Amino acid sequence: MKLYHIWTTLENRLEDMVDIRRYLHMYPEVSYHEFETANYIANYYDQLGISYKRDFGGNGIVATVTGTLPGKTVALRADFDALPIQEETGLPYASTVAGVSHACGHDGHTAVLLTIAKTINEHREELAGTFVFIHQHAEEITPGGAKSMVEAGCLDGVDGVFGTHLWSSMPSGTVNTCPGPMMAGADRFEIKIIGAGGHGAMPHTTVDAVTLGAQIVSTLQQVVARRINPTSPVVLTVGSFHAGHAFNIIAGTAEMTGTVRTFDIDVREEVIVEMERIIKGLCDAAGATYEFVYTRGHPPVINNVELSRFIDEVVEDIPQIATPSHMAPTMVGEDFSYYLNAKPGAFFFTGAMLTEAVAYPHHHPKFNFDETAMVTAAKTLATVAIRFNDEN
C-alpha cells in the first residue's frame, strides 16, 4: 500500500519536476563551477527541513532521510553539471547562459532526485532504513565529481547505490539495464608531433608533421584491428588534428587529441603500450620527436549482477512502466563507476525519447528529452530504494 501511495504522489508531482528541470535548464553551469545550482539544491532541502552536507568533495551535496523502521542504507545519485555547448533548441526555457547548456539531461536527473527526497521524507514514518541522496557535480569532466565525493565519504555506511540516466534514444516509459559491464571506461590522449617546418616547394628540407601525423592517425587503428583480442571491445578515436596555418608552408608540428574506450583495465594498459609503440616507431623513422600524454579517465561501469536483476524485478511490479529489457553494453562513459567500485549497486537507463521530434543525441545543441520520463525514473529509483531497504 505504501508503494502505491508513493507512486501516486510521484505521478502527481510531474509538474513540480518539470518546473525544477526547466529552471535549472535556463541557468546551467559547467563542471566545477556549479555554485548557483548547488545553492538551489541546498535551498530546496532547507525548505523541506531535510538535513544535508554541502561542499562534499567539491560542489557536491549529500542529503539524508531516515525512516522510523529498521533497515539498510541505500544511496541514490543524480549529477547536476552542464556542458560548454551553445543551445539551439529554441525552447521557451532554453539556456540563458551563452555557450552553456544542459545538453545531457542532468537537469532532469536533479529534478527527479529532489522530488524523490521530498516524497520519501513525507512517508518516512512508514519506511525502513536510511536514504542517502547524492547530488554530484562535475560528471562531464575527468576525473569527475564522483571520485572526489566517494573519497570524501559520501558512501560511508551505505549498503547499496543506484542511479539512472534519462536516455533520449530509448523509448519513453522503458527501463534498460545490463548485468555486469554496462558502460566503458573513458580515457583521453594527446599527441604532439615535433618535426621541422619549411617551404612548401622544398619538402626534402623538412620533417613534415602533417604527413607524419596522418600516418599515425591511420596506423593507430591497427591497435584495435590487429593488436587487441577481438573478443575485447575497444574504441580508439582521434577526435581532433591541428597543424599548420598557410597553404605553402610545411608544418613543423601537429597536435592530435582523442579517446580510448574499454571495459577491461588490463586491455586499457595494453592499448597504451601499443599506441606508444606506433607513435615512437613512425616518429623515429621520419626523424621527428613526439609527446604522448595519456589520461586514464572514468573506469568502466560494471553493475552488480544480482542488483541489476533486482531492478528488473522491481520494474515488473510498477504499473505503467514497460517490461524491463537488457541493453547491450555501450562505449559511452560515466563516472558512476566510482560508486560501483566502492559499493554494490547498479545503474540503468530510463528511456526519454521525444516521439514528436527528431531524437537528437546527448551532447547535441538541439538535445531534449520527454519530460514525462522523469516520472518513470522517479518511480523506479524510489521503489528500488524502498524495496532494497525492506528486503535487506
104 known ligand binder: yes
Q: How far apart are the first and last CA of the chain?
A: 19
Catalytic annotation present for 46: no
Identify the active-site residue in 29, 34, 79, 81: 81
CA distance 49 to 54: 15
Q: Active site residue: 34, 79, 87, 139, which one?
A: 139
Provide the residue type at 44 as one letter. Answer: Y
Instruction: Using alpha carbons, list the distances in angstroms from residue 121 to 68, 126, 131, 357, 377.
Output: 11, 10, 9, 37, 18
Same domain, 159 and 26: yes
Count of domains for the chain: 2
Q: Tell me if 137 sits within 8 A of 32, measured CB to CB.
A: yes
Q: What sign does the CA torsion over 160, 166, 170, 172 have?
A: positive
Q: Residue 1 has what pLDDT?
A: 65
Confidence of residue 357 (pLDDT cuts 50, 70, 90): low
Residues 62, 129, single domain; the answer is yes
Q: Annotated binding residue at 135? A: no
**84 and 157 inside one domain:** yes
Last-in-domain residue among 266, 298, 330: 298
pLDDT score of 358? 74
Is 178 marked as binding a ligand?
A: no
Is 5 annotated to bind ligand?
Answer: no
Mean pLDDT value across residues 240-260: 98
Residues 133 and 210 in one domain: no
List the one residue out of 71, 74, 80, 62 whose CA is nearest residue 133: 62
d(CA 392, CA 388): 6
Answer yes or no: is pLDDT of 254 > 90: yes
Write down the residue that cell numbers 516509459 correspond to. Answer: 173
Q: How far apart are CA 203 and CA 356, in angstroms?
A: 56
| Grid cell of 21 as nine digits | 528541470
Are both 136 and 258 inside the same structural domain? Answer: no
Q: Do 117 and 190 have their domain in common?
A: no
CB within 8 Å of 281: residues ≥ 6 apart? none
Nearest-angstrom CA–CA distance, 138 and 106 = 11
Domain shared by 129 and 266, yes or no? no
The question of whether 317 is a catalytic residue gets the answer no
Average pLDDT over residues 68-82: 97
User: Can you read off the three cell numbers belonging to residue 319?
Assistant: 504499473
Q: Given CA atoms 53, 58, 60, 66 in this order, what sign does their dihedral have?
A: negative
- Return the CATH number at 360: 3.40.630.10
Report pLDDT for 164.
98
Q: What residue numbers bound the domain in which 350 lies? A: 2-180+300-391
Q: Are residues 203 and 189 in the same domain?
A: yes
By CB atoms closer than 10 A (0-12, 13-18, 19+), residue 125 is exposed
pLDDT tens by residue, 156-170: 999 999 999 999 999
Residue type present at position 50? I
Check whether residue 371 and residue 273 sit in a common domain. no
Q: For 181-204, write each residue's pLDDT tens digit.
A: 999 999 999 999 999 999 999 999
* Torsions phi, psi for 136 (to 5 deg): -105, 135
Percent of the chain at pLDDT exceeding 70: 99
Given 271, 298, 325, the domain boundary residue is 298
Consult the annotation and say whether 363 binds a ligand: yes
172 in the same domain as 88? yes
Report the CATH number at residue 292. Answer: 3.30.70.360
Domain's final residue, options 281, 298, 315: 298
Cα(303)–Cα(289) distance, rounded to whole angstroms? 42
Asked, as a colleague might, if the bond just before 143 is cis with ω within 30 of 0, I would say yes
pTM above 0.85, yes or no: yes
Looking at the structure, do residues 285 and 304 belong to the same domain, yes or no? Answer: no
Whether residue 109 is found in the same domain as residue 157: yes
